[in-house]
Structure 1
Amino acid sequence: MIVPTPSDGAVAYILKMYPRFSETFILSEILELERQGLDVRVFSLKLPNDGRFHADVARVRAPVSYLPPSVLANARAFAAPHWQVFNWNRRRYLRLLFRTFRRRRWGAVKRFMQAGYIAPRLKAEGITHVHAHFASSATSVAHHLHQLAGTSYSFTAHAKDIYIDGVAEDVLKRKMHHARFVVTVSDYNQVHLATISDDTPVTRIYNGLDLDHFSPNGAHPDAPPLILAVGRLVEKKGFDDLIQACAILRDQGASFRCHIVGTGPEERKLRNLIATLDLDGMVSLPGPMPREELIRLYPRASVVAAPCVIGADGNRDGLPTVLIEAMALGVPVISTAVTGIPELVQHQRTGLS
């Protein structure tokens, strides 16, 4: 991760929601930055709603500030900090406010209001750089902070935030143009972003792991063999293909179990498919698991499957962290040649694809 050195003072992380159960890569990044001595502050645009948390969240030292959940319902909370920002440079504030309202999108107004709420806090704490994850709402707030207060910013682009059909390339280009730098998680993404804007440095940094936790621990695969998949239950994960593949294995007489760990909007659809294919007892959806439980579960698997696909709306995975975790623990992996996955899973060398 490329960020200002600790001598530059604290760095603020702007996140849509923190902590988020599925975004272990952000948790790992913050922990590593703190280990290296960086003073991190977290600003979360939304309260967490997952209901479960990874144990490593307790290791994070960074203070977390949650913004008021509604701009309209909490108008008074936003008024005072915006009055401060207005008085820093009235002409600039009014110009940016007019430009924001001219877009006629409530989302843009909301991000402007959130930026104005955060800006005085950054100034009071001497924070001059912010980093956002995902090129969507969090980066929009970082971009507004840059315009309102001159704060430099950077962001990490992942997948949905740059590929889904609703992404406006002109908006993404503008965010890239004003950023100090951009990070992304695969060479595939780096090439894609270079086609949108070539005037801002884009650095590829693969999601990292703490190898003190993710290393072979002597556990052995279960019998009968366990096929393990982990991820949000959404179209781009391709779990319906995995379930249909399990039906083929069953029909060929194979003995196995399959766990698909996670939660998401496609859960009912996947359960119905399991029932339709008469795979109850062989394929299960045990729900989400904290990372510490997954570390114990991975080595029991004979293979970790990530059957990723490109969704109908263009949504896709960047480079699934589950594959990195499984390989670090010495578990064989099988995946598809989508986006950056071939950079990690090289067919018949580091896995199957």
Structure 2
Amino acid sequence: MYPRFSETFIVTEILAREALGADLEIFSLRAPVDPRFHDSLARVQAPVRYVPRVRRAEDLWTALATAREVLGPLPDRLLAELLAADAEDAAQALAVAVAARRSGLTHLHAHFASLATTVARLAALAAGITYSFTAHARDLFHEQVDDADVLRKAADAHHVVTISRFNVAHLRAIGVAPERVRLVYNGLDLEAFPARTGTDDDVEATPTTGLHVVGVGRLVEKKGFDDLLHAVAILRGRGHRVRATLVGGGELEERLRATSSALGLDDVVTFTGPLPQPQVRDVVGTADVLAAPCVVGSDGNADGLPTVVLEAMALGTPCVTTGVTGLGEAVVHESTGLVVDQHDPTGLAEAVARLDADPALARSLATAARALVQDRFDSRRQAAQLQAALAPEAAA
């Protein structure tokens, strides 16, 4: 689905690749359902094609006939795979293949190793071009993920991109050939996330509002926001002046609101709902602490490396996180932030209190975090690495 309100990292990648001169087209398999859009979308030059979804059996036969006319006879192996695939996926793959051939595209790249790569793989095989994909988190770690399916997709791919060393190790563990995997961290447009300037006093709680802790993300289990609410309650019980803002929406919103009320936090916890990126940047950039207490969900789902953590690091907001999946590759304990165990609200509360009590530590961590983001998570570096992965067949 493009655009998706929560996937700002994809738009950032597209913009960075276009800045390097890549000639891109975007295929969206699903129409967007959220009426809100981030302002950065206006800068994307690539045209977007919304791939039709088949609704009737005859639509699939029409797609096959069109594909044969444009692409020529399809190999028997591919026909067998198309017939074995979900009919809608097969029809969309053929539509993408036809569009790619007509546009002269020479490479397809999909985000997420699930549906998008299913379609991209079949489309590339039909069009006789190469493909690659980026593996993130839910597409690797959810209980419904079929490792054999990921392995099959990787085996036919020109290369596989993934966003953390943790993911690289996982892909190798399930059998993906090491030479196929490229570690490319998600990047930020650092000009859009300037580090705040000031003294150590910037991170001290103000006497009127107390320490401001912010959590940003979808209100789902893997974000660990239930632990954050309990950490705020612990801090309040210990006499700390603290308030919290949760930015985002999701399936657990009602439950989290009920937890906040049960803990007596209604006067200090604010639920904003989802916000456009400039407003998220303002909230995070003026916070005293960004808390990302991510957990591995009961269904195996886990975050990869949340973009908002990188944004906070770039802005100079001290971060407290857990060591889940790739988070430790950005937030290094007592170097670029503080890391606590997952499902440990007491440890989370103590880490926040430590930053409150030691502004010099908070500033030191924030300064080192900004330097790490500049070195490792710049979108210009990301775009160059993605282009290099295509060489010598570099194309869009």
Name segments (4+ residues, structure 1) moved above 6 Å. none
2:151 corresponding residue in structure 1: 173
Is 2:231 aligned against 1:249?
Answer: no
2:46 corresponding residue in structure 1: 62
The equivalent position to 1:86 in structure 2, one of 68, 72, 85, is 68
Deviations 1:253-298 (A, max 9, x none): 1111101100111111111111111110211211011111122222
- The code of the aligned residue for 1:306 comes to A
- Select the structure that is richer in helix: 2
- Is the 1:177–1:199 Cα contact (8 Å) retained in structure 2? no
Provide the TM-score with structure 2 as the length reference: 0.80
Partner SS, residue 305 of structure 2: coil
2:113 corresponding residue in structure 1: 135
Partner SS, residue 160 of structure 2: strand
- The code of the aligned residue for 1:20 comes to R
Is 2:2 aligned against 1:21?
Answer: no
- Is the 1:177–1:200 Cα contact (8 Å) retained in structure 2? no
1:3 corresponding residue in structure 2: none
Deviations 1:8-53 (A, max 9, x none): xxxxxxxxx1111110110100000011111110000111112211
Are the structure 2 counterparts of residues 199 and 213 from structure 1 closer, same or farther at C-alpha, using a change threshold of 3 Å?
Answer: closer
Provide the TM-score with structure 1 as the length reference: 0.89
- Is the 1:326–1:333 Cα contact (8 Å) retained in structure 2? yes
Are the structure 2 counterparts of residues 201 and 340 from structure 1 closer, same or farther at C-alpha, using a change threshold of 3 Å?
Answer: same
Where structure 2 has 5 or more consecutive residues not aligned to the other structure, the ranges are 340-396
- The code of the aligned residue for 1:289 comes to L
Post-superposition offset of 1:333: 0.1
Are the structure 2 counterparts of residues 56 and 155 from structure 1 closer, same or farther at C-alpha, using a change threshold of 3 Å?
Answer: same
| Rounded Cα–Cα distance in structure 1 between residues aligned with 2:241 and 2:55 | 57
| Rounded Cα–Cα distance in structure 2 between residues aligned with 1:282 and 1:266 | 19
Are the structure 2 counterparts of residues 75 and 55 from structure 1 closer, same or farther at C-alpha, using a change threshold of 3 Å?
Answer: farther
The equivalent position to 1:207 in structure 2, one of 186, 194, 211, is 186
Q: Aligned residues: percent identity? A: 45
- The code of the aligned residue for 1:126 comes to G
| Rounded Cα–Cα distance in structure 2 between residues aligned with 1:172 and 1:307 | 28
Post-superposition offset of 1:109: 2.5
- The code of the aligned residue for 2:18 comes to E
Deviations 1:124-175 (A, max 9, x none): 1100101000000000001101221212100000000011111111111000
2:100 corresponding residue in structure 1: 122
Post-superposition offset of 1:199: 5.9
The equivalent position to 1:296 in structure 2, one of 282, 289, 296, is 282
| Rounded Cα–Cα distance in structure 1 between residues aligned with 2:235 and 2:99 | 57
- The code of the aligned residue for 2:65 comes to W
Post-superposition offset of 1:73: 5.4
2:55 corresponding residue in structure 1: 72
The equivalent position to 1:238 in structure 2, one of 213, 216, 224, is 224
| Rounded Cα–Cα distance in structure 2 between residues aligned with 1:95 and 1:296 | 53
Aligned residues: 330
- Is the 2:213–2:287 Cα contact (8 Å) retained in structure 1? yes
The equivalent position to 2:250 in structure 1, one of 249, 253, 264, is 264
1:337 corresponding residue in structure 2: 323
More moved, 291-300 vs 310-319: 291-300
Partner SS, residue 190 of structure 2: coil
The equivalent position to 2:128 in structure 1, one of 145, 150, 174, is 150
Residue pairs, 1:189-204, within 5 angstroms: 189-196=167-174, 197-198=176-177, 200-204=179-183
Is 2:293 aligned against 1:307?
Answer: yes
- The code of the aligned residue for 1:149 comes to A
1:49 corresponding residue in structure 2: 33
Where structure 1 has 5 or more consecutive residues not aligned to the other structure, the ranges are 1-16
Partner SS, residue 189 of structure 2: coil
